[in-house]
Amino acid sequence: MPGFRHVRRSLQHPVHRGSSVRQRHLAGLAVATVIALGAGLPAPVLAVADGATLFVNPVSGCTDTGSGTQAAPFCTIQAAVDAAQPGQTVQVAAATYREQVTLTHSGEPGKPITVRGGDIRNGLSTLPLVGFDPGGTAADHGFVLNGVHDVTITGLGIRGSLGAVQLADTQLVTLDGNIMGGSTSGPQTAGIHLSGTTASTTISRNIVRGLARTAIVVDAGVTGTILTTNAVDNQAGGAGIQITDAPGTVITSNTVSSVCGPAIGLLGNSSKAVVENNVLATGFDTGKNAPACDPSQGTAKLSVSADSVPGTVADYNLADPFGNAPVYNWAGTSYATAADFTKAVPQQGAHDITADPHYSGNPDTALPIGSNSPGIDSADANAPGELTTDLYGYQRIDDPAFPNTGTGSGYYDRGAFEFTTSSRSVAVEVQPRQIPAGASTTLTLHDFGSWSPVVSYTVDFGDGTPTVTTTQFSVQHTYQTAGSYQATVVATEQNGDTTTTGDTTVQVSPPGLLVPKLTSSRNSNPLGYDFSDFGSTSPWSLESFSFDFGDGSSPVTTTDVITGTSHTYANEGDYTVTLTVTDTGGRSEKTSQLLHVAYQAGAFHPTTPMRLLDTRTLPSSVAAGGTFDLQLLPNYSNYFGYQQPTAVVLNVTAVSKGRDGHVTVYPTGSKQPTTSSVNYVGGQAVPNLITVPVGPTGAVSFANSWGGDVDLVVDISGFYSTDLSSGSRFTPLTPARLVDTRNGDTGGKLGPDSTRNIKVAGSGGVPANATAVILNLTGTDATETTHLDVAPSGTSGYGASNLNPVPGQDRANQVIVPLGPDGSINVYNHAGSTDIVLDVFGYYSPDGKGLFTPTTPTRLLDTRTTGTPLSRDSQTSLQIAGTGNVPANATGAVLNVTATDSTAPSYLTVFPDGQTRPGTSNLNAQPGVDVPNHVTTPLGTDGRVDVYNHDGTTDVLADLLGYFTAG
């Protein structure tokens, strides 16, 4: 649909892989949501209390000695934090910062120094990257905080070869909404490390990756740490969160992945801890983690030392064990399941679950839960450190498909992610997307959410006009000035979450005309063309395109400006093609072009003769006046090398059921021509070679005259296609006699069921590299009715026939046959004995010049209508080049020549005008019989051929089957 831009948001959270995050163009609740902490614990303040904002952006014009204005920003984060005062924000632009940032300045209570980047929802690629190096190395740490207080770091991608963030002897530090991890090439490191007298640290809504060691490490002496709503992963077999001799730590609503170490470990004396609402995961990618340890010997998901048990609460956790590892190790005793743990340790784990969390997305992600997770609507909303929003800032929401089994509100989800429709799919359709200045367009909103209804839409049209807030799904707007504008829609849900759709560009142009443009080009079908409307212009969006191909077929209408349409014509000729373009302003314009439709020149691909059809094996013959369609494609696609043949060379034998008549062969789908291809005699089998184009459906048709019922035997010996790289080209020769067994050549007559090998290459002008030859085969003095089969040497068996000699008649048929590896052919005689005469007329080879262009069979000569039959020892001249579809530069022609009403046995010779008549023949005329033959002949310099009659009087018919040009 024109103007439709669909921004898809699945009912799962963005997928994270390694150090990249799928981008989300979502606006809404800031990552700086205030965290409601337990009694006596301060709330991290992410907003700037007062004072200026210092800007960091490593662009041209930046300076580390200035004041950090937006016009002249700092180049490095270090310079900015060195200059920052309490209450100021260091705003860091998305870029790569190859530095370790060491904070030496502190904020004040209520006035923290804030280092801010972007929104974690939009992905790692949109965040400032601190400590990173595109070459694969990293600084020792991204951030080092030593002895400072009242500092907030949010919205950054942070990495370090020795750990992302190191805190020592700090107070009131908040790490919120970051993506952090160690280096893949450095030593075993933690993502975040707290040590010394560090106190009142809040680590919330981060994605933290540890490599080989523990992802988050809290060492002895650290107090008041809150770890809430983080996705914690150890990708190399270590632990997730490790607390050692640090009492009073709050670990709430985290999704923690580990394999070889505990997801959460309370070591030494880490008593009075809170471990609630966590998802203790098996691993983001078990296939990657498993080699680091023996899964059967894996450690418990939650491991609590004996000295850490007093005052510690573990409840509402969802654990997914790996292999045979236990879920709990409590004071040195392991428990396989939550049920075992609760039974053995009263008042602990009463609401814990041991089950598959049913993660959504790829297992190498931050593991958001899926739509069927037991963690949905089952958390303790009153747990210390619990947030009202999840890792991406989405509001907690009641899933109507699940009972509320949690405490407090009852519908908080366990882990760092809320399964929510806030990642809903909202699409904006702009119609029309392109308009002239002063015209209106309509923005239609398509909302695919379900749980939390949208209460309003706020539309920014992008042109500086006031935003519009509406509850309607459709908004109209008029753009007054030409330009490109991006409209943005923010959907606000009942629970307060927002979803932003973007990339809905409206193109406003100056007023102008609708100008259609039509282009055409050939395609692979014999008479196929591609038509395009590309390049048509209008200040309005183009709505539809209608193609009339000018041949009486139904017009084709499309809305696709890129692909256009294709059409295959049934017949050659000149056609007027018309394109009608309609725009969304209600205007229509037409353009036309005259298209000359003709077959393309092609090379010859000789093949071993093969039988395609024998109606004698079918239930019925081809009735008088009937037609039989032979489907070549796709039935014989392999035979054609999966090419698109433009024409095929067929030997067609008509076996009459008792009456004389003729068969016309033509491309299926085209109009039946008024020509004949095979003239059959009652009670006899009469063959003729035919070159015929392939119809648009990949078929050729055989139309029987009203003479009588007839059987058809069809053999194929090659085809033409536009693949010039692998095909052969034609070279004509002065006709030369290769064999005449009447003179004793090759051993005299062919006996019954006998084969004669005849060397062709090296004779009559045929070179050694010839792939196929054009021969005229004549059978004479046959003692019985028989058939002659010609095939390349080296082939076994004969599945095709070329000529059907009968006693008392000289019969001829042209043969196009591939040469065997030794440059020879085999001629097989079926019954009795017969003499044969072989004349060569040309050959095909890779270095030849002639390319063949087929034509729908067209009658060029019929002396019956001119009243001038050929008399004894006379000839007539026939103009071919420059007539009809034949170009003036044609060098040769393929004809079907028929002798009829002959008064005496005779022969006809076809040869180039202006040249000496050769001592060969093309067909043998007989009184009372219509005798056709396939003729391949060069043209004289004037583009003409001559037809000579030896004896008696005969009428001559000549039908054009195609022509050669030098290519």
Q: Which tops the pLDDT comparison, 161 or 327? A: 327
Q: Please, which pLDDT band fits residue 235 given cuts at 50, 70 and 90?
A: low
Q: What is the dihedral of CA 914, 915, 921, 925, to 10 degrees?
A: 20
Residue 293 scores a pLDDT above 70? no
pLDDT of residue 495: 79
Q: What is the rounded average pLDDT of the residues 624-649?
A: 93
Strands 89-92 and 874-879: unpaired
Q: What is the rounded average pLDDT of the residues 163-176?
A: 96
Q: Please, which pLDDT band fits residue 784 given cuts at 50, 70 and 90?
A: very high
The answer to whether residues 910 and 876 touch, using CB atoms and an 8 Å cutoff, is no
The answer to whether residues 342 and 379 touch, using CB atoms and an 8 Å cutoff, is no
Q: What is the rounded average pLDDT of the residues 336-340?
A: 93
- The tens digit of pLDDT for each residue in 575-621 reads 999 999 999 999 999 999 999 999 999 999 998 889 999 999 999 99
% of the chain at pLDDT higher than 90: 70
pLDDT of residue 163: 87
What ranges in 23-178 are assigned the alpha helix state H?
77-83
The answer to whether residues 573 and 554 touch, using CB atoms and an 8 Å cutoff, is no
Q: Please, which pLDDT band fits residue 369 given cuts at 50, 70 and 90?
A: confident
Q: Please, which pLDDT band fits residue 449 given cuts at 50, 70 and 90?
A: low
- The tens digit of pLDDT for each residue in 868-918 reads 999 999 999 999 999 988 999 999 999 999 999 999 999 999 999 999 999
The answer to whether residues 261 and 207 touch, using CB atoms and an 8 Å cutoff, is no
- The tens digit of pLDDT for each residue in 637-694 reads 988 988 999 999 999 999 998 889 999 999 999 999 999 999 998 888 999 999 999 9
Q: Please, which pLDDT band fits residue 383 given cuts at 50, 70 and 90?
A: very high
Residue 25 scores a pLDDT above 60? no
- The tens digit of pLDDT for each residue in 397-413 reads 898 889 999 999 889 99
Residue 4 scores a pLDDT above 80? no
C-alpha 488 chain-centroid distance: 30
Residue 823 scores a pLDDT above 60? yes
Q: Please, which pLDDT band fits residue 260 given cuts at 50, 70 and 90?
A: confident
pLDDT of residue 34: 29
pLDDT of residue 341: 95
One-letter amino acid at 693 equals: P
pLDDT of residue 30: 26
**Neighbour order of strands in the sheet with 573-583:** 556-558, 542-548, 573-583, 588-597
In degrees, rounded to 5, the angle at the alpha carbon of residue 327 between the alpha carbons of residues 324 and 333 is 95
Q: Please, which pLDDT band fits residue 10 given cuts at 50, 70 and 90?
A: very low
Residue 36 scores a pLDDT above 50? no
User: Number of helices and strands (H, E) in the chain?
Assistant: 4, 71
- The tens digit of pLDDT for each residue in 121-167 reads 888 889 999 987 655 566 889 999 999 999 999 999 998 888 899 99
Q: Please, which pLDDT band fits residue 709 given cuts at 50, 70 and 90?
A: very high
Q: Please, which pLDDT band fits residue 360 given cuts at 50, 70 and 90?
A: confident
Residue 556 scores a pLDDT above 50? yes
pLDDT of residue 239: 80
Give me the chain's average pLDDT, please. 87
Residue 771 scores a pLDDT above 90? yes
Of 280-289, 376-385, 441-450, 895-904, where does mean pLDDT reach its minimum?
A: 280-289
pTM, rounded to two decimals: 0.63
Q: State how far the Cα of 755 lies from the Cα of 952, in Å rounded to an integer.
A: 36
Q: What is the rounded average pLDDT of the residues 298-307?
A: 88
Q: State how far the Cα of 884 lies from the Cα of 817, in Å rounded to an integer.
A: 30
Q: What is the rounded average pLDDT of the residues 534-549?
A: 94
